[in-house]
Amino acid sequence: MKKLLAAILLCFATGAAAQLSIEITGAGSQRIPIAIAPFAGEGALAQSLTAIVRADLERSGLFRGLEVPVLNPAPTEASNVNYAEWRARLADALVLGSVAARPDGRFEVRFKLFDTVKAADLSGVAYTLSRDQMRATAHRIADFIYEKLTGEKGVFSTRIAYVVKRGPKYELQIADADGAGEQALLVSFEPIISPAWSPDGKKLAYVSFQQKKPIVYIQDIELGKQNVVANFKGSNSAPAWAPDGSRLAVSLSREGGSQIFLVNPDGSNLRRLSQSAGIDTEPVFSPDGNHLYFTSDRGGSPQIYRMPAGGGEAQRVTFEGGYNVSPRLSPDGKLLAYIARNGGKFQVAVLDLATRQMQILTDSDKDESPSFAPNGRMILLATVNSGRGVLAAVSADGRIKQRLTLSAGDVREPAWGPFIK
């Protein structure tokens, strides 16, 4: 309940800009209790920096934000920390900081993270920011804290892409990982599917039906320029970037059937990779770039296969069940997430490629389009709730669950963007 409140408060705190709100529906069993004291002087900012940091950390399902009483004078990163006092408040970690206005109209934020159990200063950072970099700075602070305390990189500064259907319109949107700052990249009366981030996070490949058939485009996010990658006779679909961004795998029907081809981002150097009499689609590169995983019905039912990225013989990867589609590799290449039909329900499954252990992660029944966070912790997915398309996220171990809701419209086709360098 507290989580839910935090999510709602976050919505209010961020005002009308936040269209997508995130609600935690299941959290990790061992959450780190953390006290984030409101930064001294943060009242000068339009919204509370520490509220955003806390909401970020809580949304991860790995932290429990503690209520911090109003302290006078407000402690700062330079204060002497009374560890016993914070331990008495049951905090394992403490964040103290301050915000100062600079003569040039910008702000300086300084903060420090403390381990109250070990009575240790875990260091901190100072950022200079303009007014409109407030949210981005809060996410960077949350990323810093997350990495220090969990040992893995935070994804609070990353972005997600998804498609919203509002009435007759399809909108390809990009938002911050917390759902704030939604912006439309492409608006069309025809469907848009399968957005795929370039590895540098600067472009999106996607399939648009704007010419009455599926055509693969790449759009530069900043410049808004749309380029055709594959527009051949028949259908052109399912773009996936190679990890180095030098080429894409796509599924084309130009030679009959849906087969996997490689193509450069500018549409040049097309070459066919798969050779089957059936359907081969939904290619995705392994993180090392050496293999392609894809969906094929060559064995009689749609299953996931793997083949060398240079072409060659394919091996079947999934065996359980009669419908396994939409493969996605975890960033470390160890887990395969996909959609499995399980007793008539379409659910997110994860296969440990080393142990062959398979686990169904969700209890919904119309899941689609799984997408790993760049740190591999969460999997974003599309599902249907009360007849409406919504996004949800589940941790790769199935413990943490989130639901992302948009004020209006059907949401589908999520894709989690890469780390921002």
Partner 1 sequence: MHAIWIALVSAGLAACSSAPSQEQSPAGVEERKPGDASGAQTQPVKPGAIARVDLTGKPQAKSPLTDPGNILSRRSIFYDYDNYEVKDHYRDLVEAHARYLRDNPRSKMLIQGNTDERGSREYNVSLGQRRSEGVKRMLLLLGAKEEQVESVSLGEEKPRAEGQNEQAWSQNRRSDILYQGEY
Chain residues that interact with partner 1, rule: CB under 8 A: 168, 189-191, 193-194, 207, 209, 212-214, 233-235, 237-238, 251, 253, 256-258, 279-282, 295, 302, 323, 325-326, 339, 341, 346, 366, 368-369, 387, 412-413
Q: Minimum Å distance from CB 349 to partner 1?
A: 13
Cα–Cα distance measured from residue 101 to residue 106, given in angstroms and rounded to the nearest whole number: 6
Between residues 215 and 404, which has the closer beta carbon with respect to partner 1?
A: 215
Cα–Cα distance measured from residue 94 to residue 56, given in angstroms and rounded to the nearest whole number: 15
- The DSSP H or E segment spanning 349 is strand 345-352
Q: Minimum Å distance from CB 133 to partner 1?
A: 36
Cα–Cα distance measured from residue 198 to residue 219, given in angstroms and rounded to the nearest whole number: 10
CB atoms within 10 A of CB 185: 19
Distance of CA 332 to the CA centre of its chain: 15
Q: Minimum Å distance from CB 330 to partner 1?
A: 19
Between residues 151 and 300, which has the closer beta carbon with respect to partner 1?
A: 300
CB atoms within 10 A of CB 201: 16
Q: Minimum Å distance from CB 196 to partner 1?
A: 11
In the block, tokens 């999997």 appear at 379
CA 279, 364, 395, 419 dihedral sign is positive
Residues 6+ apart with CB under 8 A from 346: 323, 339, 340, 365, 366, 367, 368
Between residues 258 and 395, which has the closer beta carbon with respect to partner 1?
A: 258
Cα–Cα distance measured from residue 61 to residue 3, given in angstroms and rounded to the nearest whole number: 9
Between residues 86 and 170, which has the closer beta carbon with respect to partner 1?
A: 170
DSSP 193-240: EEEEE-TTSSEEEEEE-TTSS-EEEEEETTT--EEEEE--SS-EEEEE
Between residues 258 and 375, which has the closer beta carbon with respect to partner 1?
A: 258
Between residues 156 and 285, which has the closer beta carbon with respect to partner 1?
A: 285
Q: What is the dihedral of CA 284, 289, 290, 293, to 10 degrees?
A: -10
- The DSSP H or E segment spanning 5 is helix 2-14
Between residues 105 and 256, which has the closer beta carbon with respect to partner 1?
A: 256
First to last CA, the chain: 35
Q: Minimum Å distance from CB 193 to partner 1?
A: 5
Q: Minimum Å distance from CB 56 to partner 1?
A: 30
Q: Minimum Å distance from CB 125 to partner 1?
A: 42
Q: Minimum Å distance from CB 243 to partner 1?
A: 20
Longest dimension (CA), the chain: 74
Between residues 219 and 235, which has the closer beta carbon with respect to partner 1?
A: 235
